[in-house]
Amino acid sequence: MKNLQKGFVAPVFLVVIAILIIGGGLYIYEDKKANNTGSTEVKQYNQIPETTKQDSVIAPSQNSQKTPISNWKTYVNSDLGYSISYPPTYHEAYGNDLFNFDEDKFEKGNSSGVKIQIQKISEKFNASKADVPTIKFSEKVTNGPGGSFDIYSVTNLNGTKIFNILVWGIENDKQNVLNILSTFKFAPITPKTTIDTKPTITVLSPNGGEKWDNVSAKTISWKTNIASNESVTIYAIQNLSGCFNLKPSYGCLPVIDPENVIASNIANSGKYQWIPNVTGNYYIRICKGSEKTICDTSDTVFTVVDSTLIKPSINVLSPNGGETWKIGTQQTIRWSLAGNIPSGYKIGIFLDGGFITQLNASSTNVYSFTVPSTIFHGDVGTTLIPGKYKINISLYDGDINLGNGNPNYNWGKVVTQDSSDNEINVTN
């Protein structure tokens, strides 16, 4: 019996040993398999598989109740079509506004080393008012410019990627960065207006159709974007050909109209006083400096006539109605004269027939005075009663007789006159 037991124990012992060996092998195999599976998952995590992206979605409204944004600033980029808010610690700490991303460059964020950059992927995208962005973690770049950084993609309602937001050092201020990203919104794109910086000159007067006499000073005016310290040259061109701005194919002779320099390399002030001393049909040309590369010309011709042939005319400029004059205050009357005004002609100024003054017509076109309490009608002075009045200005061919002058004297007669368009109000 003892020999039988010995023979039985030996095989059992061998079976146990075999089981242990097989079990140990399986354990080592499973352990290695588990380790290999763990390293694969780490690699996939670094690449951010699609299954893990959903956990990283940042909604624009996220943390809206928790984020202290009362003192935050908002940057709006109307060229690229977005807005984003940020705390004061992220503003101009390094010389540039953090969110000025018009240039392709990295921007510094706060002092802990956070950097943020926004890049537009879909250049043609312009969001509607109803379009809401979805911000989602996209991938981690470990060996990028400036070190490792995280990329967050911004998509529209259709799922189209519109922007990438690049963040360096997010681990240094993660909650603030996520709060910043949650404020990202689409904004309407405003088309850029192109500013034409090309130098230009535009003749304002005479621009065609005017009738000037040849003895009184006239104003030539222009506007330009040329610097004020530049000079201009003004030409008076006589239209002998009769073909102003027309080509020979229209039946005009290709005659070059004579060009006379009125003023050479004068200050670019926008105005110049000119006494024509010529007659005929002319147009004005104004050019930058002495060159003729930047010029403008009157739209059509104007006429200069012999002053002796122009009937005199007068025009009251101010007051022209609606003004209030208080008795005892200083006031000014202005007028203009045109035509042939011989020496010896007089200007008479009246307040509805009440005489104010007499002036030499050729001496001035402005008169300042104190509104009197007494005004003369003929040789009788009467109290100026507050009320509505018109200014009358008359041109006389001699001295004015108020009614008390020598009847044998050759008193002047009215040549022309004008009144203010509407009444002024005279008060105490």
Give the mean model confidence (pLDDT) for residues 387-396.
Answer: 95
Residue range 18-51, pLDDT digits in tens: 555 555 554 444 444 444 433 322 222 223 333 3
pLDDT at 62 over 80: no
- The pLDDT score that the predictor gives to residue 101 is 39
Give 381's pLDDT tier (boundaries 50, 70, 90). Answer: confident
Residue range 71-118, pLDDT digits in tens: 888 888 888 888 888 888 775 434 333 443 334 343 546 777 788 888
pLDDT at 392 over 90: yes
Total residues found in the chain within this entry:
428
Amino acid at site 335: W
SS3 annotation, the chain: CHHHHHHHHHHHHHHHHHHHHHHHHHHHHHHHHHHHHHHHHHHHHHHCCHHHHHHHEECCCCCCCCCCCCCCEEEEECCCCEEEEECHHHECCCCCECCCCCCCCCCECCCCCCEEEEEECCCCCCCCCCCCCEEEEEEEECCCCCCCEEEEEEECCCCCEEEEEEEECHHHCHHHHHHHHCCCEECCCCCCCCCCCCCCEEEEECCCCCEEECCCCEEEEEEECCCCCCEEEEEEEECCCCCCCCCHHHCCCCCCCCEEEEEEEEECCCEEEECCCCCEEEEEEEEECCCCCCEEECCCCEEEECHHHCCCEEEEEECCCCCEEECCCEEEEEEEEECCCCCCCEEEEEECCEEEEEEECCCCCEEEEECCCEEEECCEEEECCCEEECEEEEEECCCCCCCCCCCCCCCCCEEEEEECCCCEEEEC
Please tell me the CATH code under which domain 201-308 is placed.
2.60.40.10
Give 386's pLDDT tier (boundaries 50, 70, 90). Answer: very high
Higher-confidence residue: 317 or 80?
317
Parse the chain into domains and list their residue ranges: 57-186, 201-308, 313-427
Question: What would the two tokens of residue 233 be?
Answer: 């040259």
Q: Which residues contact 348 (CB under 8 A, 6 or more apart)?
A: 355, 357, 358, 393, 394, 396, 400
- The pLDDT score that the predictor gives to residue 410 is 72
Q: Which of 390, 397, 389, 391 has its CA nearest to residue 413?
A: 397
Residue 82 Cα to chain centre, angstroms: 22
Q: Which residues contact 223 (CB under 8 A, 6 or more apart)?
A: 201, 202, 204, 270
pLDDT at 269 over 50: yes
Give the mean model confidence (pLDDT) for residues 365-373.
Answer: 94
Q: Which of 51-65, 88-102, 282-296 has the least mean pLDDT?
A: 51-65
Give the mean model confidence (pLDDT) for residues 116-130.
Answer: 80
- The pLDDT score that the predictor gives to residue 147 is 79
- The pLDDT score that the predictor gives to residue 219 is 95
Please tell me the CATH code under which domain 313-427 is placed.
2.60.40.10
The answer to pTM > 0.85 is no
CA distance 85 to 94: 18
313-427 has the same fold as 201-308:
yes
C-beta atoms surrounding 137 within 10 Å: 21
- The pLDDT score that the predictor gives to residue 29 is 46
- The pLDDT score that the predictor gives to residue 61 is 41
